[in-house]
Structure 1
């Protein structure tokens, strides 16, 4: 073994040992304990809240909860059929409005935009800011869009879908851009070197390679939207609707709105029904999150 090699090995060992010593000092240990305690405390509070809510609504886990409509006469049998179907309709049209537009905007920003142009830089800054805008603002924007389109009726499927689409649009754009950015540049360069155009490269190489990340981000965005109530209140969606939606211009309610309405009631039967509906909403959100995790683990590629 040469002198240089031996010296280098001794240096690495000294650095490694000093690093371990630093990791084991009192400050680092206290910081690590604080992190674990914060995680444990947060998870335990969440678990306690969910268990308490489930216990409160346990007596209403029956068929009427899913298949029945809201009732002012018999609170013991009030159901959430209209809210569940309304949420499904809202999610379907929210995805229809937001996903194609969000993916197209992300492709433009990541693959075709010229970052030296001032208007592209302005759009970039505004896109980052939109992700932090309070959700109620998107409800106001949806009201303005509905007014421009000439709709006088409030509380319809179209208004709620526009509000939620505006809400998750920045999330879809950002996650899609990250998915596109994760595709190695060598794939693009190889396609272009073989004579493909930039659009052909994006459509046939980059976009298919980024589909797992795009799908995960889109589903997570929808799982956020399904639990939102503030923008839906602004567009006039009420909790008193007792029929199934039939189209874009149909009056509608949503599960978060019904929960919000019943929690303000004084009768205990409505409070119990609201607790049961919260668990139903949590199951729907966790199902979407689980689907996103499955897609990520199933189709994720290692480059």
Structure 2
């Protein structure tokens, strides 16, 4: 009798497992199909408008003359400042919290705030950047203000992922390093970080992927949608590709929808190139271990 009941429970678990497996598989297929349909639509509209003139022209009221040059260069400037700031500050914070900070109310408060900041809407970071960087520090509506705002936006992502990567390193490796006479900093630099780099780079991919596509914080701090010049310093006004694409898609002329699709393709190519480089570095460090 007991054996029959146990067999019945096992069969019920298997049926439940199959139901959820099918549900998750169907959900994945729906998401992939939606993505494929979106990409097909963007390609069909934008591929014919994606040429050298589109990459080298500034924005224009005429669709045939519109280009993404200013927004493309502005995005490069923004990411060139945001990426190193995010990586250095985020990884340094993770190292401090995991390797140096003691389990006190203050460190637990920092951990709680970091976890909460990851869920704060991006528009709030825009208001913070407007208050602190634009008005209080008088950086005005510049690339530097935008980069610092985006750094604050994505810092929680890379901090949390870096903490998880550092925490995953076995404690035995640290003890072995200490036994050989290394101090704490030498152990972190020569043992912990090389092993944690793949996980840290995964967090960097996620954070920079979010930063390159954000629009709301930059609109709040004053990134404009039409610029007929290229920025030359950190304190110049700027625009970025997401804002330019949004501006084109909101115009009434039907041709601008095709121009916006071409801009989306350029943004996707830049994003995939950044991710491919980060994945290459991650795989390179994984092979060394």
TM-score for the superposition, normalised by structure 1:
0.87
Measured in 2, the distance between the counterparts of 1:212 and 1:31 equals 31
Q: Provide the secondary structure at the position in 2 that maps to 1:226.
A: helix
**Structure of larger gyration radius:** 1
Residue 172 of structure 1: how far off its partner (Å): 1.2
Measure how far apart 1:301 and its partner are.
6.2
Instruction: Identify which of 84, 93, 102 aligns with 2:72.
Output: 84
In 2, distance between residues paired with 1:54 and 1:236?
31
Structure 1 211/29 Cα, relative in aligned 2: closer, same or farther at 3 Å? closer
Which 10-residue stretch deviates more, 224-233 or 278-287? 278-287
For 1:243-258, what aligned pairs fall within 5 Å after superposition?
Answer: 243-258=229-244
Which residue does the alignment assign to 2:115?
128
Question: Which of the numbers 99, 110, 131 marks the counterpart of 1:144?
Answer: 131
- Cα deviation code 1:38-86 (max 9, x no counterpart): 11111101110111121122320211121111112x3212100111111
Q: Equivalent of 1:213, from 199, 207, 212?
A: 199
Q: 1:61 aligns with which of 42, 50, 56?
A: 50
Correspondence for 1:103 among 91, 94, 98: 91
Q: Unaligned 5+ residue runs, structure 2? A: none
Q: Is residue 37 from structure 1 mapped to residue 37 from structure 2 by the alignment?
A: no
Q: CA RMSD in A?
A: 2.1
Stretches of structure 1 lacking an aligned partner (at least 5 in a row): 1-10
The separation in 2 between residues aligned to 1:150 and 1:288, in whole angstroms, is: 31
Q: Distance in 2 between matches of 1:220 and 1:169?
A: 11
> TM (normalized to structure 2)?
0.91
Distance in 2 separating the partners of 1:62 and 1:301: 39
CA distance in 2, matches of 1:264, 1:30: 43
Instruction: Please say if residues 64 and 79 of structure 1, whose CA atoms lie closer than 8 Å, have aligned partners that are also in contact.
Output: yes
